[in-house]
Amino acid sequence: MIEVDGKRVRVRDGITVKEALEIRGYKITKYPEKGSLFAPCEIGGCWSCAVEVGHELKPACITPVKDGIRIRTQLPEDYTPKRIVHGFSGHTVGGVGTPWLLKATHGYIEAACFAAGCNLRCPQCQNWETTYTGKGKASTPKEAAEMMTATRRKFGVDRMAISGGESTLNRRWLVEYVRELKMLNPDPNARIHVDTNASILTRDYIDELVEAGMTDIGPDLKGYYPETFMRITAIDDRGLAERYLNTAWDAAQYLIDRYKDRVFVGVGIPYNKELISVQEIGLIGEKLCEIDHEVQVCVLDYRPEFKRRDLIKPGYEEMVEIHKLLKEKGLTTVICQTGYGHIGPEL
């Protein structure tokens, strides 16, 4: 017997709090919706599904039920969000949202950290140790911001980046983290960079991040067609896949249209011929060119990784052809990742 929001209910042993809530009729979603419990990662990394268990904040997706526990799904207004973030380090290349002129330099250019958990299930995930790790101490936004500020000072850089996993899953946490970073780094040289798959990055979410202090962002566009997005991400629910993909494209357009003069935007595109065709890369290029031909576009050469060890990493010449294709579509700032470093805008 457990207590949920003041009501005593009987559930079977060996299930999680999330499963217990679902059995009792609570709405559990993979896309944030009012009145639902958003549970995207299911490994205890992002803490988006956190509820009060006893008097303690815990992720519902991995916390087991125990006889007599009290669960409160409506958190108080002043609660402090948490999520698992690790890997604070200096980076010499940066991410999708890092300006090309910095990528072309030598030495450390960013301090970076990685948020655990992701709503996608990409078989070729290049950071799967973070994506599928629910282990480690969950940090408050202030704790993570203090660690990032210390990392910035250690490596003597101005840019502070957060990636993942997926950094945007826990909205309240990320907005407060960006705000805390801004307060700890008030100098005009400080840059706060978010790399994201943009699948839940709605316009109002973007507004919140910019208001909080975000200065740079790198949204990924994992396809032009929903079928490609599903193949790359292993999301098998077509309706959800379409919603994720449409949100990502809308986020990229909104960022460029509304915030081009305030926020640096770099767009990421995946490429491996086993996952996305050259023709579809061309369609993505055409659509981006219609939005803004000057936007920085970084093509990522998807390599054999995680569950897709069978993939063959695109060769240098193959990436040169992708670079030429996107330039022919009218894009002026195209970067292609290769095994020999980046191909810059001027091939």
Q: What is the DSSP letter of 244?
A: H
pLDDT at 104 over 90: no
Q: What is the DSSP letter of 267?
A: E
pLDDT in tens, 34-54: 999 999 999 999 999 999 999
168/69 Cα distance (integer angstroms): 30
Strand order in the sheet with 159-164: 138-139, 83-91, 110-115, 159-164, 191-196, 216-219, 264-271, 296-301, 333-338, 341-343
Q: What CATH number is given for 2-72 in this structure?
A: 3.10.20.30
pLDDT, residue 135, reads 82
The percent of residues in the chain predicted with pLDDT above 70, rounded, is 100
pLDDT, residue 105, reads 84
pLDDT, residue 51, reads 97
pLDDT in tens, 199-252: 999 999 999 999 999 999 999 999 999 999 999 999 999 999 999 999 999 999
pLDDT in tens, 52-87: 999 899 999 999 999 999 999 999 999 999 999 999
pLDDT in tens, 278-300: 999 999 999 999 999 999 999 99
Q: Which of 330, 329, 266, 274 is nearest to 299 (CA)?
A: 266
Residue 9 phi/psi, 5° resolution? Answer: -135, 155
Q: Give the domain ranges of the chain.
A: 2-72, 85-343
178/213 Cα distance (integer angstroms): 6
pLDDT band, residue 95 (cuts 50/70/90): very high
CA atoms within 13 A on the CB side of 100: 20
168/182 Cα distance (integer angstroms): 17
Q: What is the average pLDDT across 141-148?
A: 98
| CA dihedral sign of residues 322, 325, 326, 331 | positive
Q: What is the average pLDDT across 81-99?
A: 96
Q: What is the DSSP letter of 260?
A: T
pLDDT at 149 over 90: yes
- CATH for the 85-343 domain, from 3.40.630.30, 3.20.20.70, 3.40.50.2020, 3.40.640.10: 3.20.20.70
**13 is written with which tokens?**
């042993």
**DSSP annotation string for 173-230:** HHHHHHHHHHHH--STT-EEEEEE--TT--HHHHHHHHHHT--EEEEB---SSHHHHH
280/154 Cα distance (integer angstroms): 42
170/31 Cα distance (integer angstroms): 12
pLDDT at 347 over 80: no
**120 is written with which tokens?**
């996608």
Please report, for residues 21, 64, 148, 283, the alpha-carbon distance to residue 108 in angstroms, rounded to integers and kept in the order given.
46, 42, 15, 35
Contact 148, 325 (CB under 8 A): no
pLDDT, residue 69, reads 93
| CA dihedral sign of residues 126, 300, 317, 101 | negative
Q: What is the average pLDDT across 87-115?
A: 94
Mean pLDDT of the chain: 96
